Amino acid sequence: MTDFDRRSLLTALAAASAFGLLPTGVTPAAAQTAAGAGALKLQDPKPFSFDILKEQARSLAAQPYAAPMLPANDIVKQLNYEEWGRVTFNTDAAVFAEGPGEFPVTFFHLGMFFAKSVDMLVVKDGTSREIVYDQAMFNIPADSPARKLPKGIGFAGFRVQEPRNGKVDWHKNDWAAFLGASYFRAIGELYQYGQSARGIAIDTAVADRPEEFPDFTKFYIETPTGDGDTLTVYALLDGPSVTGAYKFLMTRAKGVTIEIDHTLHLRKDVARLGIAPLTTMYWYSETAKPTAIDWRPEVHDSDGLSLWTGTGERLWRALNNPDRTTASAFSDVSPKGFGTMQRDRVFDHYVDGVYYDRRPSVWVEPRGDWGHGAVQLIEIPTDDEIHDNVVAMWVPAEPAKAGNAYSFTYKQYWLAAEPFPPALAKVVATRLGRGGQPGQPRPPGVRKFMIEFLGGPLASLPFGVSPDHVVTASRGTIGPYKITEAVADGVPGHWMTSFDLAVDGTDPVELRLYLKSGDQTLSETWLFQYHPF
């Protein structure tokens, strides 16, 4: 999570304000004309299928790892963020610009932050043909260092444009992008990029070894057979400790769904093998904001981790920006789903033109039996919004040893909220303050927690009936002040509950709370890791 290349990549993307939405054209006077760019140059065809790709990944794992080439790196390094942004794709050269299918595919150019060349191939009728890089596919200013690059240098990644016959101009809008290591993103139903997903996470936040970032080295884009709302892409993964073959069935509808099928082969032992990893940013929110840290009320791509356990329990873990790296494990068997969510959708809570209120929530739905393991949440300190500092992933219980092979399938939902919401009240805010009661001396070492719930059975409670809250702490003393009351805004089912916690020392405290009425559970379970200060 702390390697220089990834941090630089995130800095570049933040400066663009939205991943994949960089300008698609420059002024004619400054740009190279891509006359005839629509005619792609392709290598000779070779047999291709997903089974062939799986066998290639298996065979590759038996060979020593060879780091990807950095072609013409002395020139590529001159394409810093500013220079890289000036080199834009000419959409006349898009794959499927005239069909078949609804979604043209465009490419990212190499640059300082994306220096590894990735092979791009088109699949049709059981064969694949590599797309040859040509400068005519890009708008390149006359004074750009990119003009010095050799022929056929390759691409950095790709993105999928909006439908050719859709409601927005496909030349300027895209809905999925793959760029850097095994990172990819999709746009949510609110038309805004935000958090990322990865093909795999290797040794994230492991104390005695650096995190590893395997690369997607080849992408195979399948030629559509109709005008539906899906596009299929295959990818080969390679890294020092792992190889893999991936299939992505991507659907553009209300939001975006991506059905992922992959096999993995380990070259080396892995301490923390992260399946279906999600990577997001949480700087601060209404929970606890240091004085004058920034002028905006909140800054985050996600505000919580939602869990649906194998036993059916619904959990909400509010995110933290801790003072040290922490790892939380939620043990489970055959989980029904998990995701990093952005629940706060009020613009005035952010007051920012990059639209944090529209950032997508991402839900992972496992397919098949994932067995024993844990959803692990990694939280890393950050002092700025340019760093993705939160990772959520499934980690199998069995040790990940060299020679092991894995197969996982799952479906990602890039939406505004959970695709399968519980029939319970949900947590909508977590706030911390001084313990005790107003007008009286505040006891030292006591923290007050206020949690807001909304909807579900709370909306139909009989008049005069108040829910009870059940709260536990891993250490410390709860009380004596505990209150549950309706929020005075006239919104049915909007309640808040508060309690005090007295605790000594600085070790984290695990908190757990839910609302009930008699034997009936009314809310999902709120979880929080409190770091005394």
Query: 392, 415, 438: which is the final residue of a domain?
Result: 415
Confidence of residue 22 (pLDDT cuts 50, 70, 90): very low
| 250, 230 Cβ separation under 8 angstroms | yes
Is the model's pLDDT at 16 over the cut of 60? no
Domain assignment of residue 32, given as a range: 4-415
Residue 6 confidence (pLDDT) = 35
List of residues 6+ apart from 256 with CB closer than 8 A = 175, 176, 186, 187, 188, 250, 360, 413, 414
Residues 206 and 87 both lie in one domain: yes
| 450 and 404 within one domain | no
Say whether both 43 and 131 belong to one domain. Answer: yes
pLDDT in tens, 202-218: 999 999 999 999 999 99
Does pLDDT of 23 surpass 70? no
Bond prior to 141 in cis (omega within 30° of 0): no
Quick count: other Cβ atoms within 10 Å of Cβ 83? 17
Percent over 70 (pLDDT), the chain: 93
CATH of the domain at 435: 2.60.40.10
Can you say how many angstroms the Cα of residue 465 is from the centroid of all Cα atoms in its chain? 41
pLDDT higher than 50, residue 34: no
Same domain, 20 and 42: yes
Confidence of residue 9 (pLDDT cuts 50, 70, 90): very low
Least confident of 172-176, 420-424, 461-465: 461-465
Question: In whole angstroms, how large is the CA radius of gyration of the chain?
Answer: 25
Percent with pLDDT over 90 in the chain = 86
Residue 44 lies in a domain: yes
What are the pLDDT digits (tens) for 513-524?
A: 999 999 999 999
Average pLDDT over the chain reads: 91
* Whether residue 411 is found in the same domain as residue 436: no
Note the pLDDT of residue 26.
32
State the pLDDT at residue 10: 43
- pTM, 2 dp: 0.92
Is residue 115, in this structure, part of any structural domain at all? yes
Please report the pLDDT score of residue 14 as a whole number: 38
392 and 432 fall within a common domain: no
pLDDT digits (tens, 9 = 90+) for 344-392: 999 999 999 999 999 999 999 999 999 999 999 999 999 999 999 999 9
**pLDDT at 105 (0 to 100):** 98
CA distances from 184 to 195, 203, 256, 278, 481 (A): 9, 19, 13, 10, 46
Q: How far apart are CA 376 and CA 392, in angstroms?
A: 6
Tokens of 228: 């539906």
Domain end call among 415, 446, 480: 415
Per-residue confidence (pLDDT) for residue 162, from 0 to 100: 97
Using the predicted structure, report yes or no on whether residue 17 has a pLDDT greater than 70. Answer: no
Length in residues, the chain: 533
421 belongs to a structural domain: no
Q: How confident is the model at residue 412, as a pLDDT?
A: 98
Q: How far, in Å, CA of 359 to CA of 341, rounded? A: 9
Look at residue 235 and tell me whether its pLDDT is greater than 70.
yes
**Average confidence (pLDDT) over 44-58:** 98
pLDDT band for position 3 (cuts 50, 70, 90): very low
Report the alpha-carbon distance of residue 57 to residue 317 in Å, rounded: 36
What's the structural domain count of the chain? 2
Q: Which of 75-84, 350-359, 475-484 has the lowest mean pLDDT?
A: 475-484
pLDDT score, position 289:
80
* pLDDT above 90: residue 187: yes
In a domain, 511, yes or no: yes
Residues 11 and 98 in one domain: yes
**What is the C-alpha to C-alpha distance for residues 370 and 335, in angstroms, rounded to an integer?**
7
Q: Using alpha carbons, select from 430, 61, 33, 8 the residue that is nearest to residue 238.
A: 61
Quick one: pLDDT at residue 39? 67
| Amino acid making up residue 246 | Y
Question: What is residue 70's three-state secondary structure?
Answer: coil
On whether the CB atoms of residues 361 and 339 are closer than 8 A, the answer is yes
Strands 215-222 and 201-202: unpaired
Which tokens sit at 164? 């050719």
* Residues 158-177, mean pLDDT to the nearest whole number: 95
Sign of CA dihedral 472, 476, 482, 484: negative
The answer to whether residue 399 sits within a structural domain is yes
Kindly state whether residues 179 and 73 are assigned to the same domain: yes
Last residue of a domain, one of 381, 415, 449: 415
CATH number at residue 119: 2.70.98.10
Q: What is the mean pLDDT of residues 303-322?
A: 97
State the pLDDT confidence band at 12, using cuts at 50, 70 and 90.
Answer: very low
Quick one: 408 and 452 in the same domain? no
Report the b/e string of 358-369 with b at 16+ CB within 10 A. Answer: bbbbbbbbbeee
Domain contains 420? no
166 and 253 inside one domain: yes
Q: Tell me if 460 is assigned to some domain.
A: yes
* Residue 114, strand partner residues: 111
Same domain, 346 and 448: no
Would you call 527 exposed, middle or buried from its count of C-beta atoms within 10 A (0-12, 13-18, 19+)?
buried
d(CA 3, CA 188): 28
Whether 271 maps to a domain, the answer reads yes
Residues 99 and 207 in one domain: yes
